[in-house]
Structure 1
Amino acid sequence: MEQAKLPSCYRHPGEETGVRCTRCERAICSRCMVNASVGFQCPECVRGGSGTGHSRTANHPRTIAGGRITAGRPHLVTQVLIGVNLLVFLLGSLNPALIDEMVLIGFAFDPDLGRVVGVADGEWYRLVSSMFLHAEIWHIAGNMLLLWLLGGALEEELGRARFAALYLLSGLSGSAFTYLIAAQNQGSLGASGAVYGLLGATVVLVRRLNRDLRPIMALVVFNLVITFTWDRIAWQAHIGGLIAGVIIAYAMVNGARERRAVLQGAACALVLGLTLVTVVLRTAALS
């Protein structure tokens, strides 16, 4: 006789479980169950009962990285980042001069502006502004698709603050690596650096959860092939973001719980510190 299949967790459809919330009776996996005075509760019921004596006995639910499990809009940061990228792309399409002011460039003379421009000339903001630039519709379409597919899952597992730090630091690392290696007068659009950071982080997370690595590894290989075979691609941003994403994500999902916050902070500080040192040394060499 065929064995009955267990229900799937309502927040993680791929996770089978025999545990149900004692209040709403929805199926919940080990990552979602919250200890209560009797049995377990789901994150929504814990929040819904906030202020009652029953809910005070429950611990705040946490993700694998220690972030709070958020109800309602779990992918808020991902949606905001997509919105910012789309807005910048629209503004750049309407006003191409805006792209010239935001693009990542080391040190060059701009005949249109009649002056020297670039990070080495004091325009450090270009390291950040270039993280939201795209050249063509296919460029932003591909990046936003990956951001939606990878960002949602990562934000859910890491929490909003940690996911935002992962995205921004990966993008900044990609910009710094481009600034270090690329020609000083070569303009670069560095939005893909942050997305490649999400690729690296997803590999780490999938391995940590003991899931099948083959789909994500195939996606990484596919994108790396494009990186090194397609003309006019800033491969430096891709590699810098990928490495940063792996380092940060490893620290976020590994290590003992009591030392987790310290390890995460140290990894983020290390990546940021190396990025700043890279920028300062490159600027000194170009000045």
Structure 2
Amino acid sequence: MAGCSLTARGCSRVTSSPLAEFPTPARILGPVGRFLRASPVTAGFVLLALILFILSLVFHPGELHEGPRHWGAITTLSFYRQIDPDTWKNVSPELHGPFDLWKGEWWRLVVTGFHHGNILHLVLNLWVLALLGPLAERQLGRLRYAVFFMAATIFSICAEQFWGNGVVGLSGGIFALLGFLVIRRRHDPQLAVELPDDRWIQYLFFCVVMAGLSALEIVAIGNTAHVAGLLFGVGAGVLFEQRKWIVAGGALAAAVLLVATGYFAVHPVWLGRYHWYLARQEGLESSVRTAHLRAAIDHDPRLTGAWLELSREQQADSRPIDAWRTLLEAILINRHSLELLDAAGEQWRLLVRLHLEPLATEVANETLGDESADWLKRIDEAQSQASLRGEELPDEAESEWIFRIDPSRGSLLIDRVAPTIPQPEKPSGLPENTPDSAGEGISL
């Protein structure tokens, strides 16, 4: 600190040493201590995110993308099969999703928000949380703030599950904080000073820019979670100023909404992939498996793999004509699928061997209509070419399925971090002598 010393000529300025401003531990820990005392709930959220990030790295150093899943993150998985000792193959690329969640592990909805895809994602989220969290904590009080932030984060995660993808990050809850504070600042002059117009407008502008980049598939962002969190926060901000009985009713409605969205996040019955996943469960009766597969293609007729599995299930149930009809219905919808065309050709050859060609032709005429002759010609040509190549359809019924993290599906970071594609790794849970060759990744 500058001072004044008396000399024979008067007062002269004395400049302090630069070392006086050196960042000592006390100067560093002082603001941290004040932050912990003033905003303990926000500090707890920050600490939890840091702990989960460290645990994922320390206890799974060789499995970068398996770590978050082990510690509760919602990740995108897919089915793999070992082709030979050195090769694992994703046998159903169309079938992917948060299988851990779909099998009933609902608690991941609570934990996954505190996971982050990488250090940049973590730093960005925690930085904004440290800025906005204390403002909301002071407005709401510690208990109500903790409940509000957790509910907003879970709600935004559930909203993102509408698409059936893995998701990590606190951004949904952070946008809820922003929405709440923007409404509250109209009634609190001090808050309006602490959160000026230019700052919150910058946050929203950043969100719009990131949403545009996401639409262009430049970055992977959970825009649904962002919007859901923002609306949740705005609603809470409006409700905050109402009479007590209205606030109580709004809180009850929010609780019911949260339970409902959580249920449908675990059971996304509108997704064809979800019903297809259910059909893959062990120990199902043929009728149940068939019903799940039929539901899968009813909700998403583009799932060619589900059509194929349905036809194989019908064939295994000694219903070759039904299997044939299923394949014909499939190629009418998925006209450019060579896999379906080959399967139809294989089924046609089987029906000929069973002396069911007249009935099969009749079914084709009923199903394909005026296009029947053209399609039968294409099917016959496809089968002839497959026979020349010596190809046979794989017997999927005898395959052992293992669902692993899908490296080709970036999990949505509710932020601006692009997805990463990991190097192939061995799936966890396999015998020690298995090769390190199967692809493994996380939905980012």
TM-score by length of 1: 0.64
CA displacement 1:86-127 (0-9 Å, x = unmatched): 111111222242312422258x54549xxx823221111121
Which structure 2 residues correspond to residues 45-64 of structure 1 after superposition, within 5 A? none
1:158 aligned partner, one-letter code: L
CA distance in 1, matches of 2:54, 2:247: 35
Decide whether aligned partners of structure 1 residues 224 and 273 sit closer, same or farther in structure 2, where only a CA change above 3 A counts: farther
The amino acid of 1:213's aligned partner reads D
Are the equivalent residues in 2 in contact too, given 1:205–1:249 (CA < 8 A)? yes
Q: 1:238/1:109 Cα in 2 relative to 1: closer, same or farther (>3 Å)? A: same
The C-alpha deviation readout for 1:230-250, integer Å capped at 9, x for no partner, is 411122221111111111232
Aligned twin of 2:419: none
Match of 1:85 among 28, 34, 49: 49
Q: Which amino acid is 1:170 matched to?
A: A
Tell me the amino acid that sits aligned with residue 179 of structure 1. Answer: Q
One-letter code of the match for 2:222? Answer: A
Q: In structure 1, how many angstroms separate the alpha carbons of the residues matched to 2:212 and 2:51?
A: 28
Q: Which position in structure 2 is the counterpart of 1:250? A: 238
Check the 8 A contact 1:74/1:155 in 2, yes or no. Answer: no
Please give the alpha-carbon distance, in whole angstroms, between the structure 2 residues aligned to 1:110 and 1:123.
Answer: 18
Provide the rounded CA distance (Å) in 2 between the counterparts of 1:86 and 1:269. 32
Which residue number in structure 2 is paired with residue 121 of structure 1? 103
Tell me the CA shift for residue 73 of structure 1. 2.2
Q: Which amino acid aligns with 2:57?
A: S
Task: Please report how far the alpha carbon of residue 281 of structure 1 lies from its aligned counterpart in structure 2 after TM superposition.
Answer: 3.8
Q: Is the 8 A contact 1:104 1:190 kept in 2?
A: no
1:272 to 2:241 alignment: no
Q: How does 1:27-66 map to 2 (within 5 A)?
A: none
How much does 1:192 deviate? 1.4
Higher RCO, Cα 8 Å, sep 6+: 2
TM-score by length of 2: 0.43
Instruction: Tell me which residue corresponds to 2:177.
Output: 198
Within a 5 Å distance, the mapping from 1:68-217 to structure 2 comes to 73-94=37-58, 95=60, 96=64, 97-101=66-70, 102-105=72-75, 108-109=77-78, 111=80, 117-180=99-162, 182=163, 184=164, 186-210=165-189, 211=192, 212-217=196-201
Q: How far is the alpha carbon of 1:187 from its aligned partner?
A: 1.9
Aligned amino acid, residue 42 of structure 2? T
* In structure 2, C-alpha distance between the alignment counterparts of 1:190 and 1:141, rounded to whole Å: 11
Output the CA distance in 2 between the equivalents of 1:220 and 1:208.
Answer: 20
The answer for the alignment partner of 1:26 in structure 2 is none
- Conserved? CA contact 2:69–2:75, under 8 Å: no
Q: Which residue of 2 aligns with 1:239?
A: 227
Task: Please list the CA deviations of residues 247-276 of structure 1 after superposition, one character each: whole Å capped at 9, or x if unmatched.
Answer: 123222x124xx2xx433333332232232
Q: How many corresponding residue pairs? A: 205
Question: Is 2:187 aligned against 1:225?
Answer: no
- The structure whose Rg is larger is 2
Q: 1:185-210 CA deviation, whole Å, 9 max, x = no partner?
A: x3211421111111111211212225
Q: 2-side partners of 1:74 and 1:140: how far apart?
A: 22
C-alpha contact 2:155 2:261 (8 A) present in aligned 1: no
Conserved? CA contact 1:78–1:152, under 8 Å: yes
Residue identity in the other structure for 1:266:
G
**Aligned equivalents of 2:225, 2:238: Cα separation in 1:** 20
CA RMSD of aligned residues (A): 2.5
Q: Is residue 206–residue 213 contact of structure 1 (8 Å, CA) maintained in 2?
A: no
Structure 2, unmatched stretches of 5+, are 1-35, 82-97, 276-444
1:111–1:192 Cα change, 3 Å: farther
CA distance in 1, matches of 2:247, 2:53: 32
Q: Distance in 2 between matches of 1:276 and 1:214?
A: 36
Quote the Cα distance in structure 1 between the aligned partners of 2:53 and 2:211. 21
* Alpha-carbon offset, residue 172 of structure 1: 0.7
Q: Is the 8 A contact 1:105 1:126 kept in 2?
A: no
Give the share of equivalent positions with the same residue, in percent.
23
Distance change (3 Å), C-alpha of 1:136 and 1:149: same
Distance 1:263 1:201 in 2: 17
Counterpart residue type for residue 255 of structure 1:
Q
